[in-house]
Structure 1
């Protein structure tokens, strides 16, 4: 609601950057250095997305312990959590969720937890 009309954002990444869920960049020349989250934008919405991502991580870990099948998003999130830690995984998942929200609004599609984005083939 605080973002207004999501069509004003050209891409999901732009929306995610507006929320402050993209890494701060300290790059020069050929060297690309990414830092922590920028934390700019709407604090409340960013907080809600991160808390939602923490809930997804916890539910995915519980499903994994019970031996239940994980959807692709949950499997990806657990892989990030194992490699980078819980908080970084929560922020990465919040970023991905923000981009999915933008895409759902932009394309007018309902949420599909099994959706996997495919890059357009080069012609």
Structure 2
């Protein structure tokens, strides 16, 4: 497999969607992983940037992946947290 530069993760309770991309943006893989497959798959990757939506379990998974050598980035749900409506 080619060198994975960034991995995007959509966290859920049972099934996780994982998207891997190369440095030039090409898609290398798209996978649907169960809760038991997810940590084993991530441990098999070389250290890379992992982007996840900041939610309740993201901090747990972030600590797990950081201990594996990955660079974890949490993305807030609202980029501008104080602006939730277009009216203001």
Q: Which gives a bigger RCO, structure 1 or 2 (Cα 8 Å, sep 6+)?
A: 1
Structure ID, larger Rg: 1
TM-score range, shorter chain: under 0.3
TM value normalised by structure 2: 0.27
